Amino acid sequence: MKSVAAGGAAALRWFVYEFLLLTILPAAGSRLAGLCRVTGCIVIVASLRAELQSGLVAGTAGAVIQVGVAGLTAILFGNVAKEFAFDLFARLTLWRGHAFVRDGVTMSGNSFREIQVRDGTWTRWVREATQATCEWTETDGRCRRLEIRAIA
């Protein structure tokens, strides 16, 4: 039961950070990231409206299932739209010669920061409860990984 609650809290943190724009700190690229997240929000709302515009089925259990399925489908569509927007803005930013910075939260609730550079390399930091991980690519294509664990 404890792991289900932790998973639910992580999923809620991911949703709030990735769609509701409540926890975005001012950082390089945050305007573009915010625009990508707004795109996802718009798709979620439009999808929910389209799925529920004909009304709910009769009965409480059926209506709850319908709303649940509609909500999950809307989040799926919104997430796909948001990721497409991130890809588009990353390409445009890199084409203009600037690095593209993206902060976010993984589905497991860990914070990350990713920086893509025009030469095709990238760096990604993930902060977990007991460790931090840094992954990056070099110009020759090799990928590197560094893990830093907390000493208890």
28 has a pLDDT exceeding 50 = no
Query: Could you read off the pLDDT of 108-119 as tens digits, one per residue?
Result: 878 889 999 999
Which residues, including other chains, have CB under 8 Å from residue 88's CB and lie 6 or more apart? Answer: none
Q: Measuring CA to CA, which residue among 104, 113, 138, 129 is closest to residue 23?
A: 104
Give alpha helix (H) positions in 20-150: 30-52, 60-95
Strand bridging mode 131-137 / 111-116? unpaired
Asked whether the predicted pLDDT for residue 2 surpasses 80, the reply is: no
pLDDT more than 70, % of the chain: 90
Averaged pLDDT of the chain: 85
3-state secondary structure of 116: strand
Element (H, E) at 19: helix 2-19
Q: pLDDT tens-digit profile of 43-60?
A: 999 999 999 998 888 888
Query: What token pair was written down for 60?
Result: 């409480």
Q: C-alpha angle with apex 36: 87 to 27, nearest 5 degrees?
A: 95
Q: Which residue has the higher pLDDT, 89 or 2?
A: 89
